[in-house]
Chain A
Amino acid sequence: MSETFTKSMARNIYLGGSVFFFLLFLALSFDTLGALPKRDNRQNITPQVALGKKVWEENNCLGCHTLLGEGAYFAPELGNVYTRFGGSKEAIMGFIASRPVEGIPGRRSMPQFNLSNEELEAVAEFLKYTSEINAANWPPNVQG
């Protein structure tokens, strides 16, 4: 690197650049926090949704599935599963509850999590709430 470009100039670019862009990032993040109430479907967060999220987390659903595209890529996207299952919470509950304990020979299978009816309803409600988040029209189609 050229002699006229000194180490202290490099240091100043590092310090100035990182501080400036971190502050810009903070500003954008604050703006986002202000914009979220119109997008994140928070009005539909009920105690049942909260329980559903807890069941979702405590069974590590993200270890196989994606939710709004984040997670593992072993099993289908679930951010829009409520739509894909025809807007039916019963269909979601029925699917989870009917997984065979020993799996399906040779094929991927969701484990049998032995959820109570209350937990099943809560997970379905959580997935309904998730499907109503404004995610900029993602996924591209119903297949997720």
Chain B
Amino acid sequence: MQYSSQAVAKPYFIAAIGLFIGQILFGLIIGTQYVIGDFLFPEIPFNVARMVHTNLLIVWLLFGFMGAAYYLVPEEAERELFSPKLAIAMFWIFLVAGALTIVGYLAVPYATLAAATGNDLLPTMGREFLEQPTITKIGIVVVALAFLYNIGMTIITGRKTVINIVLLTGLTGLAVFFLFSFYNPINLVLDKMFWWWVVHLWVEGVWELIMGAILAFVLIRLTGVDREVIEKWLYVIIAMALITGIIGTGHHYYWIGTPEYWQWWGSIFSALEPIPFFMMTVFAFTMVNRRRKEHPNKAATLWALGCAVMAFLGAGVWGFLHTLAPVNFYTHGSQITAAHGHMAFYGAYVLIVITMISYAWPHLHHKAPAANGRAQLFEMWSFWIMTISIVFITLFLTGAGILQVYLQRVSDTPLPFMVVQDKIALFYWLRLWTGVIFFVGLCLYVYSFFAKDNKSLASS
């Protein structure tokens, strides 16, 4: 670690992993509710548990992004962070606000939470992924602004590199597009249209800038490849991400009341969306193959390569699978969507945050470039267990989705939703057990932070 203020990243990473555990536990709860419908009912109904599952995901990824920025920006800007105190204060505000929101979800009915937090004054609740009370959303904006100010001032007064400028652009876009979460018209079509300005322009837009910048940063450190080469790749990748992804929003505008021409715009541009992800895979492997040094942190290299491959499979391939309008007509809002969502989020965003943690943690915690061999071994085991699990979760959900689409929407005698759900329950069971194995992988990952090497084990 070159700058002492990089240490503020540490609590962010710890919180991220803690919330990740919570996310997976609630994933197991809703996975169980898919097959045992009355599990934890009526105490924790499915809608509440799912909201906790998805909101924890978003919040821990945001913790991860912020931690990554606090670690990366000082090193790139070649100066201490503008205000470490502000970063720590924002950490606690974000953590407490997040925790209170989750407690609110679980402790009282959602309608009570809406009433208690004054949703009447500015109704923003009850929309997928944006379920947070309005006051929490305002808190997110405050934290985001303070965060942008902090890293923005660090960059402005320090060295400007392609990596930190792209990262700052991505994070600014994240904050700007989140503002659309406050626009909630009664007109459902308008509501849905601009809801995607948050959700799509985040995950298939500005978040890709954040992901690209973090990947580029880690690859420079791990491989020693010339910065000029890596920055050129970064520019081309994010160019393709935005060129395809912005109009690619159109693949959400097929069936929500927006005009039919979106079926053309959306199909054509989103069919190109795998390109930046494919380039990211080629980029990561090319840089590692051309490495000029052997970095002792082998685990971080594995996470980085895994991230690029899984992002391409999850976001690229599984996205393409159902993005063309004539296909999407049948698959829209089915288990196919769920399959894609799971692998894309894991591949692109879960793994980029873990890549950064894996690279940064030894510097933050051990004052060394890499954790001991045994700890790295556990990390690598956890990578393979979690990654193979998510591949199978995706395959099982895809199987469920194909059957669902056929039985409910394609066959000559379409069956009702709940009848179809019973018929495909086997796939949900398989998904649930694979989820348990994923959780085992996550436990191993957590354990890797505490794993001592063989020498110190022998001496103790």
Contacts and interface: CB of A to CB of B under 8 A. Distances in A.
A142 B421 CA distance: 16
A118 to B, nearest CB: 14
20 contacts: A10-B236, A17-B239, A24-B246, A25-B247, A53-B188, A56-B126, A57-B125, A62-B128, A63-B51, A64-B47, A64-B50, A69-B256, A69-B332, A71-B333, A76-B418, A106-B38, A108-B37, A108-B421, A111-B41, A141-B409
Given A50-B186, A72-B50, A66 B333 contact: yes
- A-B pairs, top 4 by smallest CB distance, nearest first, are A63-B47, A57-B126, A69-B333, A108-B37
Nearest to B40: A103
A104 B38 contact: yes
B229 interface: yes
A95 interface: no
B278 interface: no
B193 interface: yes
Interface of A: 1, 5-7, 10-11, 13-14, 17-18, 21-22, 24-25, 28-29, 31-33, 35-36, 39-42, 45, 49-50, 53-54, 56-64, 66-77, 101-109, 111-113, 129-130, 133-136, 138-144
A136 B260 contact: yes
Interface in B254-293: 254-263, 265
B417 A60 contact: no
Given A54-B123, A77-B417, A140-B330, A14 B255 contact: no
A134 B46 contact: no
Q: Tell me whether chain B's interface is mostly helix, strand or loop, or mixed.
A: helix
B37 A109 contact: yes
B265 A28 contact: yes
Contacts of A14: 235-236, 238-239, 242
A103 B41 CA distance: 7
A10 B333 CA distance: 37
A116 B47 CA distance: 21
Contacts of A1: 229, 232-233, 236
B335 interface: yes
Interface of B: 30, 33-34, 36-38, 41-42, 45-48, 50-51, 110-111, 114-115, 119, 123, 125-128, 131, 162, 184, 186-190, 192-193, 228-229, 231-233, 235-236, 238-239, 242-243, 246-247, 249-250, 253-263, 265, 329-330, 332-335, 337-338, 408-410, 414-418, 421
Contacts, number: 234
A74 B243 contact: no
A60 B187 contact: no
Contacts of B186: 45, 49-50, 53
A72 B128 contact: yes
Given A1-B229, A36-B258, A140-B410, A62 B127 contact: yes
A133 B421 CA distance: 27
Given A10-B232, A101-B42, A40 B417 contact: no
A142 B38 CA distance: 27
Contacts of B258: 32, 35-36, 39
Contacts of B254: 136, 138
B235 A13 contact: yes
Contact of B256 (A21, A42, A64, A70): A70
A58 B184 CA distance: 13
A6 B51 CA distance: 46
B41 A74 contact: no
Q: By CB atoms of chain B within 10 A, which of A40, A56, A101 has the most?
A: A40
Nearest to B234: A10
B38 A60 contact: no
B243 A143 contact: no
A79 B369 CA distance: 54
Given A73-B337, A102-B42, A108-B418, A32 B256 contact: no
A73 B334 contact: yes
Contacts of A13: 235-236, 239
Given A21-B247, A35-B258, 13 more contacts: A7-B231, A39-B258, A40-B189, A42-B187, A45-B187, A53-B188, A67-B188, A68-B333, A70-B192, A71-B333, A107-B37, A108-B33, A111-B47
A45 B186 CA distance: 8
Nearest to A69: B333
Contacts of B259: 31-32, 35, 39
A17 to B, nearest CB: 4
Contacts of A135: 255-257
A103 B38 contact: yes
A35 B228 CA distance: 47
